[in-house]
């Protein structure tokens, strides 16, 4: 089976892999660069969401090329990581949260492979936006490794690249948001359209604006991620070991009746 890790802020070194090779792939939406290696008996691909050296801001990421490219490579399971700010006092900096819902406040991002025309118009169900099977594997992996992984959280995705205002954070909390970030949408949406089993582990790096006692900085985000990289690696290693492909998973059949994927 083929598994992909999509690394967010602070997660650029796929040190868990062996026989690593760097490659690029041309997709209908642009070219992606990725690393390919092995972990145990599984082929694993690593995709740095922000590009090498964090060179691409959230609103300029080519999400469609990334997801389409993984599909072209034969990937079936995807574990994404994301750095987030917290709106929830029960999710402090340093904790990891397994996302189960999202709220979309992005503005100018293309979030579908189906723009009408020959591709048709598609309305995909997102009652469970993140693959329940991959989520279960991650929860079991965390338990086996003795790692605390908060089992659910609602991610509010903003356009970026600016941080949010305290007023926005208050509004997001009223709507039920727990965490805020800039990258999970449209990634999660496109993954479902592509029939990929996709889940996201969010690393809380800071309190959100108005909750944090000081102004927000990207350096703080990277520092917290760096301090927790080893914990995240252990979780990913356990999860990769526990993952197995399930052709009957509902994620694979989200748009299959259309014959696109």
CATH number at residue 75: 3.40.50.1580
Residue pLDDT, tens place only, 87-118? 999 999 999 999 999 999 999 999 999 987 77
Does the pLDDT of residue 259 top 50, yes or no? no
% pLDDT > 90, the chain: 74
Q: What is the pLDDT of residues 155-193, one digit of tens each?
A: 999 999 999 999 999 999 999 999 999 999 999 999 999
Q: How many domains are there within the chain? A: 1
Instruction: Give the chain's mean pLDDT.
Output: 91
- Structural domain including 207 reads 2-258
For residues 233 and 200, give the distance between their C-alpha atoms in angstroms, rounded to a whole number.
Answer: 14
Q: What tens digit of pLDDT does each residue of 201-243 get?
A: 999 999 999 998 888 888 888 788 788 888 998 999 999 999 9
pLDDT tens column, 124-134: 999 999 999 99
**pLDDT category, 23, cuts 50, 70, 90?**
very high
Q: What is the mean pLDDT of residues 40-64?
A: 89
Q: What percentage of the chain carries pLDDT values higher than 70?
A: 93
Which pLDDT score is estimated for 212? 85
Q: Residue 257 has what pLDDT?
A: 58
Q: What's the pLDDT score for residue 9?
A: 55
pLDDT at residue 261 tops 70: no
More confident: 220 or 12:
220
What is the reported pLDDT for 230?
Answer: 86
Give the per-residue pLDDT at 70.
Answer: 98
């Amino acid at each position: 089976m083929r598994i992909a890790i999509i690394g967010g802020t602070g997660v650029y070194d796929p040190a868990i892999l062996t026989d690593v090779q760097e490659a690029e792939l041309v997709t209908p939406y642009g070219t992606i660069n990725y690393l390919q290696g092995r972990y145990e008996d599984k082929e694993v691909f690593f995709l740095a969401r922000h590009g090498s050296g964090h060179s691409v801001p959230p609103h300029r990421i080519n999400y469609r090329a990334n997801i389409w490219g993984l599909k072209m490579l034969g990937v079936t399971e995807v574990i994404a990581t994301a750095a987030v700010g917290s709106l929830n006092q029960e999710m402090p900096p340093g904790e990891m949260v397994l996302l189960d819902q999202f709220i979309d406040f992005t503005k100018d991002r293309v979030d579908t492979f189906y723009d009408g025309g020959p591709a048709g118009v598609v309305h995909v169900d997102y009652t469970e936006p993140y693959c329940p099977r991959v989520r279960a594997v991650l929860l079991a992996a965390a338990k086996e490794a003795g790692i605390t992984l908060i089992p659910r959280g609602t991610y509010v995705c903003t356009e970026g690249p600016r941080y949010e205002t305290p007023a926005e954070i208050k509004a997001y909390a009223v709507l039920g948001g727990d965490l805020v970030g800039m990258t999970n949408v449209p990634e999660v949406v496109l993954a479902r359209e592509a029939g990929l089993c996709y889940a996201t582990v969010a690393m809380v790096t800071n309190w959100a604006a108005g909750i944090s006692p000081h102004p927000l900085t990207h350096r703080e985000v990277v520092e917290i991620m760096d301090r927790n990289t080893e914990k995240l690696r252990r979780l990913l290693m356990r999860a990769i070991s526990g993952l197995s492909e399930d052709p009957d998973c509902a994620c694979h059949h989200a748009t299959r009746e259309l014959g696109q994927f």
